[in-house]
Chains A and B, each alone.
Chain A
């Protein structure tokens, strides 16, 4: 068996372009899924039955089915049966955002619920409206509390973006699999693929561990 690692170096620019797409996808998805998760969490905590029920269904559904199937569903079913046309990239972002919003909403909800009732009472006692209390008192504390969990979700999301390669979005996985079938240098290209993800993901995983230690809740 002889290996030819030159193929990795010659296709490095393309791989890096794919890596850029992976990073971009993760950033855009998270930027959409944080407000998305907050809205879902507020709906569940709103006390309005219909809102809470709808949000619960959405969250439980997206948490209990595989992301890869969600992406397929958005890709094949929406255009064919509901006459909605999306580009592959928007399909990918839509699928990822719904999924991550569902996970974020549970994170935010647990954070908001974990803030003691005394904080609400204190806010009311000094004459604040409920919305104000949420925005100025509860949310800032809740966000600090859920930061580690949010960061863990980010690391998962970063890996999960690889699944959009199945609908030909040119992320790192897609580009690598394509180079593999062009060059037949399977071991070299796939190992480079794993190595690039490792180089990007390992520091993130370590950073999350640090966040967990730094912001550990001790009451």
Chain B
């Protein structure tokens, strides 16, 4: 078996661009997921029983349908329903974000409920409104406590973005397939892609844990 580096020398700009798309896709879906997560998590915690049940249905649905199916449905079926086509990147961001949002919501709900009741009572006693208390008192503490969990969700977002290759988003896995197909060098290319994902994912959880140890005291009350 011989290893050849020619595919990289010839196509590294192409692959590097794919790495950026992987990162952009992960960050965008993380952003959308976070927005969904904060709203759904807060409504499930403070919005009463009807909200909790309705949004719980969304969360559990996303927990039970594979991401692959969500993405394929979003890209191929959803446009038929709304009668206009979706560009592939948008479909991928929505699919990944809506899926991640459910997990984010659970994490945020756990963080919010972990803040003691006395904090809310104290905020209300100072004359704050409930939304104000959640925004300025409860959420900041909860976010700090959730930091490690958010770190692992980010790792999931990067790994899950590879599934978007199935609907031909030009991200790292997809472009690796393209180059591997053109050069007949699957070993070098898939192994390299593996290493890139490892380098993207492995340090993140560690760095966030380290940051967390430094700021953990801000979240304790």
Contacts and interface: CB of A to CB of B under 8 A. Distances in A.
Interface in B169-221: 173, 177, 180, 186-187, 190-191, 193-194, 197-198, 201-202
What is the size category of the interface that chain B forms with chain A? 35 or more
B186 A66 contact: no
A5 to B, nearest CB: 13
A72 interface: yes
B201 A65 contact: yes
A201 B65 contact: yes
A186 B193 contact: no
Contacts, number: 116
A190 B160 CA distance: 20
The B contact surface, by secondary structure, is helix
Interface string A177-198: 1001000001100110110011
Contacts of B73: 190-191, 193-194
A131 B201 CA distance: 36
A55 to B, nearest CB: 16
B163 interface: yes
28 contacts: A1-B80, A1-B81, A64-B201, A64-B202, A66-B159, A68-B162, A69-B173, A73-B190, A73-B191, A73-B194, A76-B187, A76-B190, A77-B186, A77-B190, A159-B66, A162-B69, A166-B166, A173-B72, A191-B73, A191-B77, A194-B73, A197-B64, A197-B66, A198-B61, A200-B64, A201-B64, A201-B65, A205-B64
Interface of A: 1, 60-61, 64-70, 72-73, 76-77, 80-82, 155, 159-163, 165-166, 173, 177, 180, 186-187, 190-191, 193-194, 197-198, 200-202, 204-206
Interface of B: 1, 60-61, 63-70, 72-73, 76-77, 80-81, 83, 155, 158-160, 162-163, 165-166, 173, 177, 180, 186-187, 190-191, 193-194, 197-198, 201-202
